[in-house]
Amino acid sequence: MATHNIDVRDARDRLIDLLGIGETYPLLDLPVRDDQLMVPFENTAKAPIGFSQRGVTYTLHDKNNAPVNRDNGQPFSIEGNSVEALLETPKIDEDITFKILAKKPAWKSGDPGKQGYLHETATVKVGLDVSLKASIKNAPTLDATIDTPKDTDPRIVDYNTSVEVELRNSQEGVHYRLVTLDGKEKITLSDGPDVLGDLKNITLPAKPVTEDVDIRILATKTFESENREPQISLLEIVLPLKVRANPALAVSASPSIIDFGAKSTVRIASTQKSAKYQLYIRAIPDSQFVHGIPESGTAVVSVPVTGQPNAQVKMPPSGASWQTPAGYTPVGEAKPGTGGDLSFDTGVLREDTLAIIEAKKDHQAGAKTMPSALQLTHAAAVLVEPNPAQALTLAWQDNNPSTGWMKVTGGQPGVFYYFRFTSDGADEGLPAYFHKQDENDSALNKGIEQSKIGVGFVISRVGSDESDTDLARTPPPSPLLEIGAMPSGATALTVRAVKAQTRVAVEMNQQAAIPSA
């Protein structure tokens, strides 16, 4: 209803009354906002009278123009205050319409005062207001491109996260709880007891959620009478909440140490049926191995090595959403979760390898499907034994056996080779180590930082004249093996190959022939 300059007319009438030049009636075209006058059974309501006039008394009447009184005989009334006045009603047990009598004080003794009924009535309905608005607090929208999200736009949270729902303009005397529907069954989501409405905004905390869910609000009004069943209704609003995949699933490799050129199996435990999983692998650079106690905050994957300290590999960093780390490639196709364990074949491996997992979920957002993806916090390392068939060649330095030094060629990069005259004999001299190239640029040699193994370094042999040589791009000379007294009739050496970073070892398939004099 149009207000027609109520404030101006109110000021005019007050001036007339003040000067005593006339007697004015209350303004009767004030708006009575009854669009929210729905109350539970046996609850009171408050009828809002807009632009109420100061000095005017507003009294509740029934449809027959009779005043509605309290138990003590006094009427339900309220004084105007120049703003919105809330006129209380008695307890309501059925839909009802009230009239509102506006009355000014008597101008002189014996005069009843000017009065009249407001043009608008106040209709109060009995029941639970299922049209109340609500929203999920402190959770971003699934669609990050939405500038002005609606209450019902899907939100997204991490796995096992709690949220809070704000219900606006709650009904007094009504208890509210969060639920979700599984068919016709209502499953409670509230974390704690029901929350009692008080005509204000209230907050409803939810339990931690692990899967996508549509949050609903259940309203309940109970009564003191044992003969009356409680009123229970679901609010109309539906609040979609999407949940990212569980990042904490256990990841393992079996076997974790394999033959050169063999395969391993990466297994994810307790996968979610709602998610898909993709295996990614990369060869482990030397710089990613950790020796000794890891620094604080450094997450590592540990692999037991028989007779040696555990091999430790740094975990690649991960963020809130999936970004493929540098150097990693997918293996095979993504697989849907089963609710149980899920296995992936790594394919043939020739290098120590770290395996990580992408977990992806497709969320329904109306007619659209929107994904979320993350990296599982656990990973698996597969250590590969040195190549037992590596073709090693021995040659006397300067073709002169009297030097007691043999040049070793053809070794596998990153491997120490230990030589013995018999399988159970002592090692001859120091092991021969074969140089690896820079992990970021195969045209460059490794710098000193990449040459660390534990607390020591592997330093390659220096050539005789390198004054004009670019050492960064020129591989060092082949390693030399110092031979002690050679047993009579010895023609070959037994060889044991050991990975420098992991200490994983293997006996070579063939002996290395001793060159003739």
Average of pLDDT values for 444-460?
A: 55
Decide: 342 and 333 in contact? Cβ < 8 Å. Answer: no
153 and 36 in a common domain: no
- Domain stop point among 384, 407, 432: 384
Higher pLDDT, 205 or 451: 205
Torsions phi, psi of 458, nearest 5? -105, 110
Residue in the block written with tokens 């004030």: 30
Do 162 and 142 share a structural domain?
Answer: yes
- 208 and 158 part of one domain: yes
Residue 447's pLDDT is: 54
Count the Cβ atoms, other than its own, within 10 Å of residue 106.
12
Number of domains, the chain: 4
Residue 286 phi/psi, 5° resolution?
-55, -35
Give the residue-averaged pLDDT of 301-317.
95
426 occurs within a structural domain: yes
Is 1 inside any structural domain?
no
Amino acid letter, 390 = Q
Say yes or no to pLDDT of 225 above 90.
no
Residue 428 CA to chain centroid, in angstroms?
A: 57
Residues 354 and 315 in one domain: yes
3-class secondary structure, 269: coil
pLDDT of 2: 53
Residue 214 backbone dihedrals phi, psi, to 5 degrees: -95, 115
Domain final residue, candidates 203, 220, 243 = 243
Residues 155 and 232 in one domain: yes
More confident: 366 or 511: 511
Is the pLDDT score of 102 beyond 90?
Answer: yes
226, 243, 260 - which closes a domain: 243
Non-local (6+) Cβ contacts of 144 within 8 A are none
DSSP one-letter code for 229: P
Residue 110, pLDDT > 90, answer no
What pLDDT, on a 0 to 100 scale, did the predictor assign at position 486? 82
Cβ 272 vs Cβ 339: under 8 Å: yes
Predicted TM-score (pTM) of the model is 0.78
pLDDT average, residue stretch 5-13:
88
- Model pLDDT for residues 232-291, shown as the tens digit of each residue: 999 999 999 999 999 999 999 999 999 999 999 999 999 999 999 999 999 999 989 999
Whether residues 210 and 274 fall in one domain: no
At 455, the pLDDT band (50, 70, 90 cuts) reads: very low
Q: Is the pLDDT at 21 greater than 50, yes or no?
A: yes
CA–CA gap between residue 410 and residue 417 (Å, rounded): 11
Torsion-angle region of 377 (φ positive above 0: left; ψ -120 to 50: alpha; else: beta): alpha
Residue type, 10: D
Residue 449 has pLDDT above 90, yes or no: no
Q: Which residue range forms the structural domain that includes residue 311?
A: 251-384
Q: Say which range, 88-92, 210-214, 351-355, has the weakest mean pLDDT.
A: 88-92
Tell me, yes or no, whether 333 and 366 share the same domain.
yes
Q: Are the C-beta atoms of residues 311 and 383 closer than 8 Å to each other?
A: yes
What pLDDT was estimated at residue 104?
93
Tokens of 278: 């993709």
What is the per-residue DSSP string for 462-498?
P-S--TT--TTTSPPPPPEEE--SPPTT--EEEEEEE
Write out the E strands in 263-316: 265-268, 275-283, 289-290, 300-305, 308-314
Q: Residue range 341-354: average pLDDT?
A: 98
Q: Is residue 255 reached through a cis peptide bond, with omega within 30 degrees of 0 on the bond before it?
A: yes
**180-204 pLDDT tens trace:** 999 999 999 999 999 999 889 999 9
Instruction: Identify the helix (H) or strand (E) that includes residue 167.
Output: strand 164-167
The answer to whether residues 260 and 210 belong to one domain is no
State percent of the chain over pLDDT 70: 91
Same domain for 260 and 234, yes or no, is no
